[in-house]
């Protein structure tokens, strides 16, 4: 399996437009379904009515019914966070796979997940108030990426192989430190484990509004770089000859993707396989051009995470990270076998 191989099967433009429209409809349906299902069932028509009344109340000041409160204050923030985080992870995964020309790259490649995990572990084991846990996770994730970039730098260059190796080493060391701290604070180990498995259950509007600017900034920069990422697939030398500043492009992609991923991971924990699998599926159905791949991956990633979270909270699986791993792992193995020796 390779990025070049999938680029050779780009479907006609009309097919891609039709598939994108179907994907948008699937995302909207997933949102309505996820908001309606729970301990109190709310039919789709009532969900849409509650959404309309909630928007109207911003101008009229009308008091919301208990059902409207369930929709707006309990379920919609969780679903919105699912859309945001799923889109963020999928876009960052697609950008990493493009900039490293490596189909196994994902948003956690440079130590973001391990850094966030260590920051959250320190905060939980030390007994810090819960609002400080994502702050510690975000700062530690950004510190981990900074350390990876420092170790990988070779003069003014950032060779992809050194970046990947440095990310693996930094991630392994930080994971070892996290494990040591968990063993030292056994009474809080369950809380740390819940974080490392990913959970959207504590998401409120405040969390959504905190992650939103990071996701928009990081994802927006990556989508603007789609044409340059396409040129990079021709190789560094060819890209340079066509006027692409390869090293600055690589650094910009790494920074934008790392900031967006770190913010998402800090608030919901470590959710695996979304950033790895979604870009592959989109590449198969829409082609490998990054100007299409990245925005479509955002739609697909948001849809997948909303449905995975719905499955998690309506079954004994309970953690969304468990669902994405159980679904994504076998699917990715199927993709590997489908790719044969490539």
pLDDT band at 339 (very low <50, low <70, confident <90, very high): low
DSSP H helices, the chain, are 3-7, 13-36, 44-60, 66-69, 76-99, 112-125, 132-152, 160-184, 189-196, 205-224, 226-232, 236-241, 246-268, 274-286, 290-313, 320-338
Which whole-number Å values give the CA distances from 26 to 9, 22, 299, 303, in the listed order? 24, 6, 9, 7
Weakest mean pLDDT among 82-86, 110-114, 299-303, 307-311:
110-114
- More reliable by pLDDT, 174 or 317: 174
pLDDT score for 94: 93
Q: Per residue in 120-177, pLDDT tens? A: 888 888 888 877 888 888 888 889 988 998 898 887 777 888 888 898 899 899 989 9
Q: Which conformational region is residue 127 in: left (phi greater than 0), alpha (psi within -120 to 50 degrees), or beta?
A: left
Question: Among 311, 313, 293, which Cα is nearest to 301's?
Answer: 293
pLDDT score for 33: 93
Q: What is the DSSP letter of 149?
A: H
Does the 18-335 domain belong in CATH 1.10.3470.10?
yes
Weakest mean pLDDT among 37-41, 164-168, 292-296:
37-41
Contact 262, 114 (CB under 8 A): no
Domain ranges for the chain: 18-335
């Amino acid at each position: 399996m390779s990025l070049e191989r999938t680029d050779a099967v780009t479907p006609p433009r009309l097919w891609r437009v039709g598939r994108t429209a179907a994907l948008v409809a699937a995302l909207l349906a997933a949102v309505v379904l996820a908001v309606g299902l729970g301990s109190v069932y709310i039919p789709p028509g009532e969900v849409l009515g509650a959404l309309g009344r909630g928007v109207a109340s911003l101008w009229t000041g009308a008091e919301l019914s208990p059902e409207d409160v369930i929709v707006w204050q309990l379920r919609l923030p969780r679903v919105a966070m699912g859309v945001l985080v799923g889109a963020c992870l999928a876009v960052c995964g697609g950008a990493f796979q493009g900039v490293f020309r490596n189909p196994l790259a994902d948003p956690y490649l440079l130590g973001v997940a391990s850094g966030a995990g260590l920051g959250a572990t320190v905060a939980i084991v030390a007994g810090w108030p819960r609002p400080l846990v994502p702050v510690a996770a975000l700062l530690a994730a950004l510190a981990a990426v900074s350390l990876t970039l420092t170790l990988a730098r070779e003069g003014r260059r950032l060779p992809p192989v050194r970046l990947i190796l440095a990310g693996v080493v930094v991630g392994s060391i930080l994971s070892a430190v996290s494990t040591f701290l968990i063993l030292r604070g056994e009474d809080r180990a369950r809380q740390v484990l819940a974080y490392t498995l990913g959970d959207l259950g504590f998401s409120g509007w405040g969390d959504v509004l905190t992650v939103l600017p990071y996701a928009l900034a990081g994802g927006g920069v990556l989508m603007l770089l789609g044409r340059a990422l396409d040129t990079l697939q021709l190789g560094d030398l060819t890209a340079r000859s066509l006027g692409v500043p390869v090293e600055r492009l690589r650094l910009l992609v790494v920074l934008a993707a790392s900031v967006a991923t770190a913010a998402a991971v800090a608030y919901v924990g470590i959710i695996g396989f979304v950033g790895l699998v979604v870009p592959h599926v989109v590449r198969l159905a829409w082609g490998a051009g990054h100007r299409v791949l990245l925005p479509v991956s955002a739609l697909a990633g948001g849809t997948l995470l909303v449905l995975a979270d719905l499955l998690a909270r309506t079954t004994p699986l309970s953690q969304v990270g468990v669902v994405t791993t159980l679904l994504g792992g076998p699917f990715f193995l199927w993709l590997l076998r489908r790719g044969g020796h490539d």
